[in-house]
């Protein structure tokens, strides 16, 4: 008879016991009605103008014919398992920061295959099971999954919109408990495009100093400020953050428009940085997930990033201008202020659930994200990506506004946004 010795030393009969999965993977993986409707429409060959496009490799940018040549470096034939990543690749990351007037050394950098993996390393570095991390909301939806996988609890703290987004310092203070370990910032944020201002960084740094917290700053969109906007500083390294352990995450997926190459990093600054790096090195050594060809190629891709960045900035700017041009003729929808990144948020009247509006828009041939996807209130918000090809974007916005205008699902002039 199969027996199991339980921790107190007793034997337990486990005959017929059912295999169980972990609680953390108890997700509802059923396809949503919205996703099904989209799949069926695309499958039927009906037109869909995609206003959710976020994969730069599928948006018609020119990466140059030689990009993959960097992968042919013979040095990649040698396996040199460096837990933090090859020094030359980490130096390339330092050079990138130098371009932002920031001096960091390769001993402060650990390479990862994605910012998702970078987050996972940081959660394991800073958190025991059940620990909490504060995250501004609206925000990037993948964070919830990343946290659950590492047994960390994310607590959302609402950003406030009043002629522009800003943090609510009191909201952060109220959300902190004895279990809180870190505050997360996305600079600029996805999808709000909100840049952390110096006063906001200082307030949050003050909280971190007072309560022994770390700051995790995601700067994947750092190189994409809106034209005529603020001068963009790497917030993670601004003056007010002295005395705070800061972990910056970023990577090639946005900076070089190369999500498929799987290269990202954490840069550690502030007090206890050496101890943190020692621990991060052990975490990274356990996985050794970076591959050699990409590490040898990273320097070149980072050096040549301006080529793709300029195309992306131009595209985002053109699509934003087109959106505004069409919005000017259809005052039922308002666009919220945006300072950077690849997205714009639209305010529509909350007359019905956004899921229904998005479904009806799909029937009109345009695909947008409902705001709740990014943690916004249930009704009244749509998020559009500004990355897609210009003709498709323009067509999508026309369909969107025609539908919302015809059905008066929007704001009338004079209403508040």
Ligand X SMILES: Cc1ncc(COP(=O)(O)O)c(C=O)c1O
**Site residues, ligand X (CB under 6 A):** 54, 114-116, 140, 186, 190, 218, 220, 251, 253, 259, 264
CB of 138 to ligand X, least distance (A): 11
CB of 102 to ligand X, least distance (A): 19
Burial grade of 398 (CB within 10 A; 0-12, 13-18, 19 or more)? middle
Question: What DSSP assignment string belongs to 268-293?
Answer: EESTTHHHHHHHHHHHHHHH----HH
CB of 228 to ligand X, least distance (A): 23
Round to whole Å and give the CA distance between 144 and 165: 22
Question: 225: which 2 tokens?
Answer: 């400020």
Contacts for 316 with CB less than 8 Å, ≥ 6 apart: 224, 226, 342, 386, 387
Q: Which CB atom, from 222 or from 244, has the smaller least distance to ligand X?
A: 222
Q: Which CB atom, from 169 or from 259, has the smaller least distance to ligand X?
A: 259
Question: 396: which 2 tokens?
Answer: 């999508």
Q: Which CB atom, from 190 or from 357, has the smaller least distance to ligand X?
A: 190
Question: 303: which 2 tokens?
Answer: 């050096």
CB of 133 to ligand X, least distance (A): 14
Contacts for 293 with CB less than 8 Å, ≥ 6 apart: 71, 72, 73, 76
Round to whole Å and give the CA distance between 2 and 118: 41
Question: Contact at 8 Å (CB) between 187 and 159?
Answer: no
CB of 262 to ligand X, least distance (A): 8
CB of 57 to ligand X, least distance (A): 12
Query: Running DSSP on this structure, what letter comes out for residue 257?
Result: S
3-state DSSP assignment of residue 81: coil
Q: Which CB atom, from 193 or from 299, has the smaller least distance to ligand X?
A: 193
Round to whole Å and give the CA distance between 375 and 27: 18
Helix, strand, coil in percent for the chain, rounding step 5: 45, 15, 40
CB of 294 to ligand X, least distance (A): 13
Round to whole Å and give the CA distance between 237 and 104: 10
Q: Which CB atom, from 214 or from 253, has the smaller least distance to ligand X?
A: 253
Q: Which CB atom, from 115 or from 319, has the smaller least distance to ligand X?
A: 115
Q: Which CB atom, from 190 or from 319, has the smaller least distance to ligand X?
A: 190
CB of 219 to ligand X, least distance (A): 9
Q: Which CB atom, from 100 or from 334, has the smaller least distance to ligand X?
A: 100
């Amino acid at each position: 008879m199969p027996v199991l010795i339980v921790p107190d030393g007793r034997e337990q009969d486990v005959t017929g016991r059912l295999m169980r999965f972990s609680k953390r993977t108890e997700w509802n993986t059923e396809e949503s009605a919205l996703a099904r409707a989209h799949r069926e429409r695309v499958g039927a060959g009906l037109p869909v103008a995609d206003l959710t496009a976020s994969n730069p490799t599928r948006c018609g940018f020119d990466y140059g014919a030689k990009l993959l040549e960097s992968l042919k470096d013979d040095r990649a034939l040698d396996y040199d398992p460096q837990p933090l990543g090859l020094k030359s690749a980490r130096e390339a990351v330092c050079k990138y920061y130098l371009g932002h007037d920031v001096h960091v050394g390769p001993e402060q950098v650990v390479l990862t295959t994605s910012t998702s993996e970078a987050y996972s390393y940081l959660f394991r570095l800073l958190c025991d099971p059940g620990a909490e991390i504060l995250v501004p909301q609206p925000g990037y939806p993948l964070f919830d999954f990343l946290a659950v996988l590492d047994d960390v609890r994310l607590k959302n703290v609402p950003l406030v919109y009043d002629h522009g987004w800003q943090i609510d310092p009191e909201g952060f203070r109220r959300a902190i408990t004895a279990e809180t370990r870190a505050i997360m910032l996305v600079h600029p944020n996805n999808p709000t495009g909100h840049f952390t201002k110096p006063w906001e960084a200082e307030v949050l740094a003050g909280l971190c100093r007072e309560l022994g917290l770390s700051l995790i700053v995601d700067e994947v969109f750092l190189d994409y400020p809106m034209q005529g906007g603020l001068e963009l500083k790497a917030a993670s390294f601004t003056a007010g953050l002295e005395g705070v352990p800061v972990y910056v995450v970023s990577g090639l997926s946005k900076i070089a428009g190369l999500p498929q190459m799987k290269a990202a990093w954490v840069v550690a600054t502030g007090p206890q940085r050496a101890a943190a790096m020692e621990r991060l090195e052990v975490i990274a050594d356990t996985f050794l997930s970076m591959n050699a060809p990409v590490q040898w190629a990273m320097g070149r891709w980072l050096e040549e990033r301006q080529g793709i960045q300029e195309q992306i900035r131009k595209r985002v700017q053109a699509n934003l201008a087109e959106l505004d041009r069409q919005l000017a003729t259809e005052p039922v929808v308002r666009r919220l202020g945006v300072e950077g990144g690849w997205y714009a948020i639209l305010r529509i009247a909350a007359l019905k659930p956004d899921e229904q509006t998005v479904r009806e828009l799909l029937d009109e041939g345009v695909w947008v994200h409902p705001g709740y996807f990014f943690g916004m209130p249930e009704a009244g918000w749509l998020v559009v990506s500004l990355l897609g090809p210009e003709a498709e974007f323009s067509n999508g916005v026309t369909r969107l506004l025609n539908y919302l205008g015809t059905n008066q699902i929007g704001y009338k002039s004079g209403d508040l946004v």
